[in-house]
Amino acid sequence: MRKDKVIKPRSIGVSSLRNGPFYTVASVELGNTTTKCILVSTNLKTAEIYEIEKEVRMTRDVRAPQSDEQIFGRTIFGVDLTRESVSEMVSDVLLTVLNRARLDIDRDLHFVVRSTGVTAGFADPDEVGVIVQALADGCLQAGVSPRKMTASLMAENLPPDLQEFTWLKKVYFDGAVASSLPPSDTSIVANEMEGELVTAGIKGAAKSTSIDFRHPVMTLDFGTTLAGRITDDSYPYAKTIGSFVGLAGAIPDALVRKSGLVPERNGTVLDLPQSYHPSKTKIVNEWFDDYIRVERVKETDTRFGTVPVNGKSANESKVLLIGVDAGTNGSKLAELEKLGQTIVAEAGVEVLLTAIDCAMVDIVQRIVNIVDSEGLLLRNTSLGLTGRSIITGHKPKLIVDGLRLKTGERWSSSHDLLFVEDGLAMGAAVAARCMNSMGTKENPMGGRKGDKCIMGQRMRLQKKGHG
């Protein structure tokens, strides 16, 4: 496998699912730019994840709020959201996917995981619960049973054909997804759940490769906003020692908005062709140095890159919180729009797209520099990247060829590196299995690189906790 190859889940037909043992999950995600429902299924013997069907819509197409509805938040580009409008969109996208895949919601769908990247319009991290509830409303409207959205307490609550694959008689779900514990204070950043799912998803994607993507790891999700985690090599559960927040895809979106090539009000880089020849014009990172900030979030910060954070809690929890911003809370996005307009007018669209690639790769390098300087890169830390604004264009190749440690050594020559498509959706499949204790001892995702399955240690730990 080429190191710059983006891992995608293999597809599978409905007839194969019924030959089992497969665990089928719908991942429903409301993002700033796209709203998705992706159906994935996991082979419970091999732990490999397959994609069945997916539907992707632009979040900007959510219907406008009605006069009697309360706006509880908005996307980073100002699209207003109400509980009712979100619920309707989620219900429709979920039913569309199920109907296209010809899956029966009661018989064939085992679990639904909901997540959101829309956190910019909230006052504090705790308010994300409102939007997650709106997502739940949409799933219920579509006909999903409540028990398919919560962890099972007993094996008997699972379908009979899956009960032999659960460990619920011996362990319970204690909050660790793919053996990674969240920070002691989950209010550090509004998109903590997104970071958790992305980390789990990249672990799941690695099962189709020869890479052992177990702890310690660093994961980065470059959607419209940034998410991800750094974990240590604690055993049996790794601790979250770092987290990421701020702007990601919003930066290239701003650069194309006044290019004349996308709708100016809510266009994104996704509206442009994703295949192009890189420009031979020399791109210098200094073009963006006055606009893009990558730094450790301060203890006094309550918002970074428009996303609510709790810098004080991060410091007290000993979690390194790294943020990416354009100015202060997006204050220089308008200047990036003008910069993009100038580049297109003077040099053309290929130079702009090449400049975007270089800018995003430079952000990854600056993040790695901070993590490395803080001493949080262990000798065998793996890096996993996902999200539309880092796996597209020529960014994977540029990262493989150019990403460096502070010693000057290339990352890809000493640490594992993975690029994954739809990491968050694959994480939903992993999280659903964890919540129902459906681990695979022969192909574990939890624990440290090279170690055996942690199930025995989990049993001892939980027994001791009850003792």
Q: Which residues pair with 28 in a beta bridge?
A: 37, 114
Mean pLDDT for the stretch of residues 113-122: 76
What are the Cα distances from residue 402, in Å, to 11, 104, 355, 358, 376?
32, 47, 15, 11, 20
Task: Please answer whether residues 278 and 357 qualify as being in contact, where contact means their C-beta atoms are separated by less than 8 angstroms.
Answer: yes
Mean pLDDT for the stretch of residues 134-150: 95
In the predicted model, is pLDDT for residue 120 greater than 70? no
What are the Cα distances from residue 432, in Å, to 114, 177, 427?
11, 9, 8
Q: How many CA atoms lie within 13 A of 354 on its CB side?
A: 16
pLDDT at 89: 96
| Distance of alpha carbon 71 from alpha carbon 78, whole angstroms | 11
pLDDT at 1: 66
In order of their start, the domains of the chain are: 192-423 (3.30.420.40)
Closest C-alpha to 7, from 286, 423, 336, 338: 423
Q: What is the pLDDT of residues 288-339, one digit of tens each?
A: 888 999 999 999 999 999 998 999 999 999 999 999 999 999 999 999 999 9
What are the DSSP calls for 106-149, one per residue?
A: TTT--EEEEEE---TT-SSGGGHHHHHHHHHHHHHHHT--GGGG
Sequence-distant (≥ 6) Cβ neighbours of residue 417 within 8 angstroms: 3, 382, 383, 384, 385, 399, 400, 403, 411
Give the max Cα distance, the chain: 71
Q: What is the pLDDT of residues 435-458, one digit of tens each?
A: 999 988 888 889 999 999 899 999
| Distance of alpha carbon 129 from alpha carbon 47, whole angstroms | 30
Q: How confident is the model at residue 119 (pLDDT cuts 50, 70, 90)?
A: low
| Distance of alpha carbon 270 from alpha carbon 61, whole angstroms | 15
Mean pLDDT for the stretch of residues 191-206: 93
Average per-residue pLDDT for the chain:
91
| Distance of alpha carbon 330 from alpha carbon 164, whole angstroms | 51
pLDDT at 288: 87
In the predicted model, is pLDDT for residue 110 greater than 90? yes
Q: How confident is the model at residue 467 (pLDDT cuts 50, 70, 90)?
A: very low
pLDDT at 445: 87
Mean pLDDT for the stretch of residues 177-181: 92
| Distance of alpha carbon 164 from alpha carbon 20, whole angstroms | 12
Tell me which DSSP letter residue 189 carries: B
Residue 292 carries which side chain, given as an amino acid letter?
I
Mean pLDDT for the stretch of residues 145-156: 91
Q: How confident is the model at residue 236 (pLDDT cuts 50, 70, 90)?
A: very high
pLDDT at 340: 94
Q: How many CA atoms lie within 13 A of 364 on its CB side?
A: 31
Closest C-alpha to 252, from 358, 121, 398: 358
Q: Where is average pLDDT lowest: 281-285, 340-344, 353-357?
A: 281-285
Residue 42 parent element (H or E): strand 34-43
Task: Please answer whether residues 243 and 189 qualify as being in contact, where contact means their C-beta atoms are separated by less than 8 angstroms.
Answer: yes
Whether pTM exceeds 0.85: yes
**Percent of the chain at pLDDT above 70?**
97
Mean pLDDT for the stretch of residues 253-261: 93
**Percent of the chain at pLDDT above 90?**
67
Three-class DSSP labels, 51-87 = EEEEEEEEHHHCCCCCCCCCEEEECCCCCEEEHHHHH
